[in-house]
Amino acid sequence: MSLRERKAAKKKEDILRSASLVISRKGYHNATMEDIAAELLMTKGSLYYYFKNKEELLYRCHDLILSEAMKKMEEILSQEISSAKKMEMAIKFHLEVAIREKEIFNLIVKPEQIFSKEHLGEIVEKRAEYAEVFDRIIDEGVSKGEFSIEQKKMARMIILGATNWVQVWHSPEGEYSNEKIEEIYAAYLLKMLV
Amino acid sequence: MSLRERKAAKKKEDILRSASLVISRKGYHNATMEDIAAELLMTKGSLYYYFKNKEELLYRCHDLILSEAMKKMEEILSQEISSAKKMEMAIKFHLEVAIREKEIFNLIVKPEQIFSKEHLGEIVEKRAEYAEVFDRIIDEGVSKGEFSIEQKKMARMIILGATNWVQVWHSPEGEYSNEKIEEIYAAYLLKMLV
Amino acid sequence: MSLRERKAAKKKEDILRSASLVISRKGYHNATMEDIAAELLMTKGSLYYYFKNKEELLYRCHDLILSEAMKKMEEILSQEISSAKKMEMAIKFHLEVAIREKEIFNLIVKPEQIFSKEHLGEIVEKRAEYAEVFDRIIDEGVSKGEFSIEQKKMARMIILGATNWVQVWHSPEGEYSNEKIEEIYAAYLLKMLV
Amino acid sequence: MSLRERKAAKKKEDILRSASLVISRKGYHNATMEDIAAELLMTKGSLYYYFKNKEELLYRCHDLILSEAMKKMEEILSQEISSAKKMEMAIKFHLEVAIREKEIFNLIVKPEQIFSKEHLGEIVEKRAEYAEVFDRIIDEGVSKGEFSIEQKKMARMIILGATNWVQVWHSPEGEYSNEKIEEIYAAYLLKMLV
DNA sequence: GATGAATGAGACTTCATTCAT
DNA sequence: AATGAATGAAGTCTCATTCAT
């Protein structure tokens, strides 16, 4: 990759980070292209040099975050540790991401209200892949006898629902540190599984 | 209340039900006043006879649903049954509402992105009140020795997060009936509490 | 049709006439929705109450003019007169329309540069129908021995091309009156046919 | 002219040919500077090294085509042949150009919708000069007794209108070859003149 | 009470043009 | 000479809201 290309790639990522921030703060519909551009001291026209339109921009935000998260999850999956430990790590990491990327994770809630057909399929698929990580840990735990769960899908839904929800109430000024929250969530949700 | 007033009140409620429906289907931002009016075979102008503006309309939707739910919750609270049974009933009922009123419950997720200051305070307060129901059941259960939970707030967050999340993935054509889902959720979440 | 509906229909037609005017003056691409609205002392938003979008507006302009013209042409066709007389009348009338509705007729020149697939088919079809009027007169004239033309299609193309072109150079302040122009065109083009 | 200058001149002409092509295909308003540059594997910024702006670029396109055509027409004019033969050649050649340079010829239709005052005068003048070629042939033919036409201007308008119009319906896949079309047009239009 | 019509603010998007490198 | 990047003006369209009837 040439210097130029690397610069452009960097810029694209900068935009994505900024956009994530603004969208998280205001919500997708309330975040205008102008807002996003202003955050970067750009003009909205410039955004269109890098991204086809607002949806595309959002799609890339989502993709970036999800891809990074997925990589980490796979690393967790491949470690030689107990299923319980894996689940603990997965829950903690998922909480981290959910807290950091509030809206981006949240807006995936109803992708069909935001994304056109062009992206919808891929998004749903990637999300499913991500969710599967939890399925696999549960499966593994059950087969190893660590977990005693019959309704694996539902257990996964409960875990993801509970953890995704933190974005709703979480505030940096809250009583608990992020680590503490992660600790408690992991402990309680594991209690449900064993 | 005069006949006229009762008629108007009835109409208002009709509008609220319709609005809830449309908003649940399309999301707040995608549901136009026209959409809502169309559902009732009205024109959008008429809506303004009953409600000051879109926000007001939404606010009343939210209020209606929450008030009804609250009434039911208080009834549950006041029964002479074990805390576990209460929690089971509360979870099941909350799931019912969440499934039925998808978006309305969901949009409360980030009220500050939708509501102006005028309503925000009251909304936050009412939601807190509702959430407190779960706190009270947990408290009661702990003091009666039915539950063994140290982090009561977090436990409540997990329960509400998990249950609110059903709207995201629930589909009427899904594999499980609503009753089955409620059953499993209650069982698993209780397992976490005891 | 109720009074309301008639009023609305009238308004729609007013808009179409105004739009035709503005578009004729400035050309389709240079005529903004604001321009068109201003001509009617409206705001651009209002136009969208009557027409879905700019293309739709243009499509209706075109349709209105062509339908009216077609009606007249059919009347000419059905008269009991010589083919030469028919052609004379058709040419004169076509010139009248072309002069009056400059741009609208002209923009049909390359419909595919303006219209989406939705309308393109119908437009092409209607235009073909209109052009066919001339074919039928020529056919009739040839079979009656009034015209001596082998390449009927080409003759029609020449006639339509020549007459459509008047919009390009015609000016109300020109040396010749419209009637005079029509007279000459009809005479010369008939000379070509006989 | 230095090598550098000749190189630049060549490049300018390349750009003009490409621009003509793209504009012919898409129409002036739909052809973006980017489209034109892409055809040449350039970037749009570079176009501005050679031409002040889009209008200038178009103006030069027009000028190039018209100048070349004019040269050929003068050659025709100066030959020692009958006026009918001259007219035949002029019509055929004009058709050739019109078919080849579709849009460029067509967009001249309403120069005032595209060109600023700076260029408008010159354009109108050059076009008049070109049109005059036909006037001169007609004049000559009339004075030599080959043509019997009273309204010379109108006859010229008919000829130019008819021939310019071919761009509207002409398609490379059409039934008739270009030569055949030219043959027929020339024959029929001459029939009108004699 | 209801509605058809109108409004205007604001959003997204396009694109000719500029300019530093 | 060329280009990648940025800009800003302008245009289309949406929609909550208002209001006369």
Inform me whether the pLDDT recorded for D174 exceeds 90.
Answer: yes
Give the other-Cβ count within 10 Å of A148's Cβ.
10
CB-based contact B182:B162 (threshold 8 Å): no
Determine the protein residue whose CA lies at the shortest distance from the C1' of F6. Answer: A46
Q: How confident is the model at residue D106 (pLDDT cuts 50, 70, 90)?
A: low
Q: How far is the CA of B14 from the C1' of F3 (A)?
A: 62
**Contact between B188 and A164 using a beta-carbon 8 Å cutoff:** no
Contacts of D131-138 spanning 24+ positions with Cβ under 8 A: D131/D156, D131/D160, D133/D70, D133/D73, D133/D74, D133/D76, D133/D77, D133/D90, D134/D87, D134/D90, D134/D159, D134/D160, D136/D77, D137/D77, D137/D83, D137/D86, D137/D87, D137/D90, D138/D83, D138/D87, D138/D193
Question: Which residue approaches E2 most closely, CA to C1'?
Answer: B46
- Amino acid letter, residue B191: K
**B158: pLDDT strictly greater than 80:** yes
- Closest CA of chain B from A157, distance in Å: 7
C120: nearest Cα among C55, C54, C51, C31? C55
The predicted pLDDT at position C190 comes to: 98
Tell me: pLDDT of B110 over 90.
Answer: no
The more confidently predicted of residues C113 and A146 is: A146
**Residue A171 sits at the chain B interface (C-beta within 8 Å):** no
Q: Which nucleotide is nearest to B35 (CA to C1')?
A: F15
What's the CA gap between C16 and B76, in Å, rounded?
64
How far is it, in rounded angstroms, from Cα A187 to Cα A193?
Answer: 10
A136 CA to chain B: closest CA distance, Å? Answer: 19
User: Which residue bears the tokens 């992206």?
Assistant: A119
Percent of chain C at pLDDT exceeding 70: 96
Any idea what DSSP says for residue D64?
A: H
Chain A within 8 Å of B113 (Cβ-Cβ)?
A: yes
pLDDT of C136 higher than 90 = yes
**Segment among C88-92, D14-18, D110-114 with least mean pLDDT:** D110-114
| Beta carbons within 8 Å of C168's beta carbon, 6+ residues apart | C106, D109, D110, D161
What pLDDT digit, counting tens, does each position of A35-90 carry?
Answer: 999 999 999 999 999 999 999 999 999 999 999 999 999 999 999 999 999 999 99
Residues of D in contact with C155 (CB under 8 A): 188
**Chain A environment of B160 (Cβ under 8 Å):** 165
pLDDT value for D107 = 57
Q: Which of A110, A155, A161 sits opposite B165 (nearest CB)?
A: A161
The answer to whether C166 contacts D169, with C-beta atoms less than 8 Å apart, is: no
Q: What is the mean pLDDT of residues A7-20?
A: 93
Judge whether D112 and D120 are in contact, CB under 8 Å. yes
pLDDT digits (tens, 9 = 90+) for C120-132: 999 999 999 999 9
Tens-place pLDDT, residues A148-193: 999 999 999 999 999 999 988 898 999 999 999 999 999 999 999 9
The answer to whether B and C touch (≥3 CB pairs < 8 Å) is: no
Across the interface, of C29, C162, C169, the residue whose CB is closest to D162 is C162
CA B100, CA D128: separation in Å to the nearest integer?
Answer: 75
Domain residue spans of chain D: 1-51, 61-193
* Class in CATH terms, A1-51: mainly alpha
Q: Write down the pLDDT at residue D6.
A: 87
Nucleotide F4, nearest residue via CA and C1': A4
Cβ–Cβ gap D158/C27 under 8 Å:
no
Chain C residues touching D30 at Cβ < 8 A: 113
- A148: which chain B residues are within 8 Å (Cβ-Cβ)? none
pLDDT mean over D102-115: 75
CA-to-C1' distance for D56 and E17, Å?
A: 13
Give the pLDDT of residue B140. 97
**Cβ separation of A161 and B157 shorter than 8 Å?**
no
Identify whether the C-beta of residue B91 lies closer than 8 Å to the C-beta of residue B159: yes
For residue A20, which of A127, A112, A130, A100 has the smallest C-alpha distance?
Answer: A100
C49 CA: distance to closest CA in chain D (Å): 27
B87 close to B162: Cβ distance less than 8 angstroms = no
> Pick from D126, D127, D135, D158: which is nearest to D86 by CA?
D135
pLDDT band at A103 (very low <50, low <70, confident <90, very high): low
pLDDT of C102 over the 90 cut: no
- Are A30 and B168 in contact (CB < 8 Å)? no
pLDDT at D166 over 80: yes
Going by beta carbons, is chain B in contact with chain D, meaning 3 or more pairs sit under 8 Å apart? no
Fold match, D1-51 / D61-193: no
Q: Per-residue pLDDT for B102 more than 80?
A: no
Separation between Cα atoms, residue B66 and residue B126, nearest integer Å? 8
Of the listed ranges B97-101, B160-164, D30-34, the least confidently predicted one is B97-101
Min Cα distance C2 → chain D (Å) is 42
Which residues in chain C are contacts of D164 at CB distance < 8 A? 161, 165
Q: How many CA atoms lie within 13 A of A168 on its CB side?
A: 23
Q: How far apart are CA B106 and CA B21, in angstroms?
A: 13
B53 touches strand F (CB under 7 A): yes
- Mean pLDDT of all residues belonging to chain C: 92
Percent of chain D with pLDDT over 90: 78
d(CA A8, C1' F5) / Å: 10
Question: Does D110 sit within 8 Å of C168, measured CB to CB?
Answer: yes
Which residues 142-171 on A are within 7 A of strand F at the CB atom?
A: none
DSSP C160-194: HHHHHTHHHH--TTSSS-HHHHHHHHHHHHHHHH-
Decide if pLDDT at D1 tops 80: no
Helices (H), chain B: 3-26, 33-39, 44-50, 54-78, 83-100, 102-107, 117-143, 152-164, 166-169, 178-193
Strand E: which positions are within 7 A of a protein CB?
A: 1-20
CA nearest neighbour of D178 among D103, D100, D70: D100
Give the residue whose CA sits closest to E9 at C1'.
C45
Q: How many residues does chain C have?
A: 194
> Domain C57-193 adopts which CATH fold?
Tetracycline Repressor; domain 2 (1.10.357)
Measured between CB atoms, which of D30, D110, D165 is closest to C164?
Answer: D165
Q: How far is CA D146 from the centre of its chain?
A: 27
Question: B158, A154: Cβ pair inside 8 Å?
Answer: no
State the pLDDT at residue B4: 83
Has residue C105 got a pLDDT over 80?
A: no
Nearest to B169 among A27, A30, A157 (CB): A157
Residue of B nearest to A31 (CA): B113
Output the DSSP codes for C15-60. Answer: HHHHHHHHHHHH-TTT--HHHHHHHTT--HHHHHHH-SSHHHHHHH
Instruction: Flag whether residue B124 sits within 8 Å of chain A, measured between CB atoms.
Output: no
Length A60 CA → E6 C1' (Å): 40
What mean pLDDT value characterizes chain D?
92
> How far does the CA of residue C168 sit from the closest CA of chain D (Å)?
6
Instruction: Give the other-Cβ count within 10 Å of C163's Cβ.
Output: 30
**pLDDT by residue (tens digit) across D76-97?**
999 999 999 999 999 999 999 9
Whether the CB of D128 is below 8 Å from some CB of chain C: the reply is no
Question: In degrees, to the nearest 5, what angle opens at C-alpha B27 toward C-alphas B22 and B28?
Answer: 90
Number of inter-chain CB pairs under 8 A, C vs D: 82
Minimal CA separation from B24 to chain A, in Å: 11
Quote the crossing angle between the two packed helices A152-164 and A83-100, to the nearest 10°: 40
Average model confidence (pLDDT) for chain B? 92
**The nucleotide closest to D8 (CA, C1' atoms):** F1
The tokens 């006041």 sit on which residue?
Answer: B78
Residues of C in contact with D168 (CB under 8 A): 109-110, 161
User: Distance (Å, rounded) from C-alpha A1 to C-alpha B119?
Assistant: 53
Position B115 pLDDT exceeds 80:
yes
More confident: C103 or D133: D133
Chain D residues 49-78 with Cβ under 7 Å of strand F are 49-50
Work out the angle at residue B164's Cα, subtended by the Cα atoms of residues B64 and B68, and round it to the nearest 5 degrees.
Answer: 20
Which CATH code, of 1.10.357.10, 3.40.50.970, 3.30.1360.120, 1.10.10.10, is assigned to D61-193? 1.10.357.10
